Structure formats: structure tokens, C-alpha cells
């Protein structure tokens, strides 16, 4: 089980690296677009669309890594105020509810990807990018986020609710217990 968790987390970290590279290329694209428009006084064709799709792709591909880093929005006031057993139950329920939501997003992404692929849809711009290309990162990101949730729930089951706490969360947990 631990090797499964390690393998899934390694792939999530790799996707996080890809997300960072996409954000960097989006910055380069905007820089190039500004140069072409204001220095060379020419029009741009693909830069705006690429930047939008790169940032969206980075968001979806980076989501599993953000889950590992505990960077998603989490209201844990109640979790920190209760004992370990109740905290474990609350975190498991939260993970399961998140898996349902992410599973629905993954299904919607698959449906949209398949429609774009089969129908040969393209963007309505001069670039005419096939639409399955910008939808694919959403599909990959949501499927892998679902797998990462499975790994995180396994880690939670094996190590307990406090194993992944950072220093700040551990401090608040101690304060809530009256230590």
C-alpha cells in the first residue's frame, strides 16, 4: 500500500512540475505578445488563446500536487477541536465527498473530450486549435486527482489524522486540546 501511495504521489509531483512549466510558458507567451504588439506593431494570432489554455491546464494538472501539499481550501476548525477518532472520521468523509465531486468533474471532462475528439471541434479563432487539446489536461488532472484522493485516504487510514499536519496545524490542534 505504501508503494502505491509513493508512486501516485510521485506522478502527482511530476504533474505539478508540468503545471509550473505551463505557467512559465504562459509568462513567455504574454511577454512575446507584448513585444510583437507594441514594439513590432504587428497583430498576434495564438498568444492569448495559448496563455488562457496553459493557465487552465496548469490549474487542473497541478491540483493533485496541491492536494499533497494540503493547499486546497480547508475549513478545519471543527476537526482541530475534536479528538483523533472523530477527526479521522471527518477527514475520511471529507475525502469521500471530494472524490464524488472530482469523479463527476472527471466524467464531465471525459464527455466533453470525447465529443470534441469525435466531432473534430476546433476553436473559433484564426489558430483553430482542436478543442480536445485544451480539454485533455482537465481530464488527466481530474482523473489523477481522484487517484491522489484514494492515496491520501489510504495514507490517512495507515498513519492517522495527525500524520500530515504541518507545524501551524499541530499548534492549533494543541491549542484546541488545551495544551
Q: Is 130 helix (H, G, I), strand (E, B) or coil?
A: strand
Average pLDDT over residues 136-165: 89
Chain mean pLDDT for the chain? 88
pLDDT-derived band at 44, boundaries 50, 70, 90: confident
Average pLDDT over residues 55-64: 97
Measure the CA–CA gap between 38 and 61, rounded to whole angstroms.
Answer: 32
Measure the CA–CA gap between 169 and 176, rounded to whole angstroms.
Answer: 10
Q: Which comes out higher in pLDDT, residue 148 or 72?
A: 148
Name 10's Cβ contacts closer than 8 Å, sequence gap at least 6. none
Average pLDDT over residues 58-69: 95
pLDDT at 167: 43
- pTM exceeding the 0.85 threshold for the entire prediction: no
Amino acid at each position: 500500500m505504501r508503494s502505491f501511495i509513493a508512486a501516485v504521489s510521485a506522478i502527482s509531483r511530476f504533474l505539478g512540475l508540468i503545471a509550473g512549466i505551463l505557467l512559465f510558458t504562459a509568462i513567455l507567451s504574454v511577454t512575446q505578445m507584448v513585444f510583437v504588439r507594441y514594439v513590432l506593431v504587428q497583430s498576434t494570432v495564438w498568444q492569448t488563446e495559448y496563455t488562457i489554455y496553459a493557465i487552465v491546464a496548469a490549474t487542473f494538472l497541478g491540483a493533485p500536487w496541491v492536494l499533497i501539499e494540503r493547499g486546497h481550501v480547508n475549513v478545519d476548525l471543527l476537526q482541530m477541536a475534536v479528538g483523533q477518532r472523530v477527526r479521522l472520521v471527518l477527514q475520511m468523509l471529507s475525502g469521500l465527498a471530494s472524490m464524488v465531486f472530482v469523479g463527476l468533474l472527471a466524467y464531465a471532462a471525459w464527455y466533453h473530450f470525447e465529443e470534441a475528439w469525435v466531432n473534430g471541434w476546433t476553436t473559433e479563432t484564426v489558430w483553430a486549435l482542436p478543442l480536445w487539446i485544451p480539454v485533455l489536461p482537465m481530464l488527466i488532472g481530474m482523473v489523477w486527482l481522484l487517484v491522489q484522493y484514494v492515496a491520501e485516504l489510504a495514507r490517512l487510514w495507515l498513519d492517522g489524522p495527525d500524520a500530515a499536519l504541518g507545524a501551524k496545524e499541530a499548534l492549533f490542534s494543541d491549542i484546541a486540546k488545551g495544551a
